Amino acid sequence: MFEDLGEGPHYADPATDVVFGDIFEAPFLRDVYVRDSTALMGGGTLRANLALRLGKWMGEQLPEEDIGLYSPALTPKPGARFALAQATFLPADETPRAILISDSCLTATALVQGRTKRSVGGRLLFAPLSVVEPEQWDMLVRSEDFARFPLPVDERLPECSVAELGSCFMVDARDVKEHVHNRIVSLSAPLAEELEMHWSAYAARLGPRAYGRNTLKLASLLSGGGKPGDDEQDLADAVADVLDLARFIEAQDLEDVSAAEEDVRLSGGDAAQLTPPLVENIIEHLRELSDQAAAAADCLSARA
């Protein structure tokens, strides 16, 4: 799955703004999930001297310091939104790491990056990072399991790290803002694009990863259900090329439009100067898309 990444580097030092694919390392970034045993809890801080007595009663050696005491048996307070849920437990010497999955535009809005007259708010989506055996990492690279994204090697990450897209969890944007300094690495643009395609395939069964697999299935059907021949593969590739160009218009041309609109709206940019080249690109690519789509349709029609 990394054949298009080239030699690298595959990572970069975090920039000022938090963006899609930034990897955080912080003790509170645990893979927390909800089951039907989840319950609201009440409670608060237990003073140090009482914590010692509680520890003795429970057979635990608690430190002589204030601790939090929470239980579903205590009445929850409206302002204290605590709940008893489940979490993945890591080895004691392993610091929790997670990769930001929320897109950069949503992240910028939530964290008020380049925004004015807003306040930090909302939640951002993270996928926890796990460490697997080398054989399993190699298998994930070869198999492209949509729910798991193996990360290329880097000295700032444990070897054989995997982003567990099937175990995503939300983090309050206020805490992300507070822990911007806990980012350890950012993804390069090509690697971030690979992650984006993988995430789209997992979350929505859309994008190049998903339609690449489905066009292979189309080739198989065209061959009668067996191994596709060259002609069937060419037809499937023609369909995939159309979708590739459509995705380019969405991911590149329209993202350029979005950036220009923000420049006009937020920074006083000149719409009359920015708009014409953007429109020309869209027109050129739409015409190319029309030609490609018509050619692919004709080829499929002839085969049918």
Asked if 220 and 287 sit in the same domain, the reply is: yes
Asked if 96 and 75 sit in the same domain, the reply is: no
DSSP letter at 164 equals E
Asked if the structure places residue 6 within a domain, the reply is no
Asked if 97 and 142 sit in the same domain, the reply is: yes
Asked if 172 and 72 sit in the same domain, the reply is: no
List Cβ neighbours of 42 (8 Å cut-off, separation of 6 or more).
70, 71, 72, 73, 74, 75, 76, 77, 80, 82
Token pair belonging to 247: 């995705």
pLDDT of residue 92: 66
Asked if 46 and 97 sit in the same domain, the reply is: no
Instruction: Return the amino acid letter for 208.
Output: P
Give the domain-ending residue among 203, 227, 256.
203
Domain range for 64: 39-84
pLDDT of residue 62: 81
pLDDT of residue 99: 98
pLDDT of residue 289: 97
Asked if 120 and 91 sit in the same domain, the reply is: yes
Asked if 135 and 271 sit in the same domain, the reply is: no
Asked if 175 and 300 sit in the same domain, the reply is: no
- Going residue by residue through the chain, which has 304 residues, state the pLDDT in tens, using 9 for 90 and above: 777 777 779 999 999 999 999 999 999 998 888 999 999 999 888 898 888 888 888 888 888 889 888 989 998 888 777 888 898 877 766 789 999 999 998 999 999 998 777 899 999 999 999 999 999 999 999 887 899 999 999 999 999 999 999 999 999 999 999 999 999 999 999 999 999 999 999 999 999 889 999 999 999 999 998 889 999 999 999 999 999 999 999 989 999 999 899 899 888 999 999 999 999 999 999 999 999 999 999 999 988 7
pLDDT of residue 137: 95
Asked if the structure places residue 284 within a domain, the reply is yes
pLDDT of residue 93: 67
What is the CATH number for 97? 2.30.30.110
Asked if the structure places residue 66 within a domain, the reply is yes
pLDDT of residue 174: 95
Asked if 33 and 43 sit in the same domain, the reply is: no
Asked if the structure places residue 104 within a domain, the reply is yes
Asked if 24 and 160 sit in the same domain, the reply is: yes
Number of domains in the chain: 3
Asked if 33 and 119 sit in the same domain, the reply is: yes
Token pair belonging to 4: 């298009």
List phi, psi (to 5°) of 48: -55, -45
Asked if 222 and 258 sit in the same domain, the reply is: yes
Q: At what angle do helices 189-204 and 208-222 cross, to 10 degrees?
A: 60
**Number of Cβ within a 10 Å radius of residue 46:** 18
The Cα angle at residue 73 between residues 69 and 77, in degrees rounded to 5: 70
pLDDT of residue 53: 85
- Cα 250 to Cα 271: distance, rounded to the nearest angstrom: 20
Asked if the structure places residue 1 within a domain, the reply is no
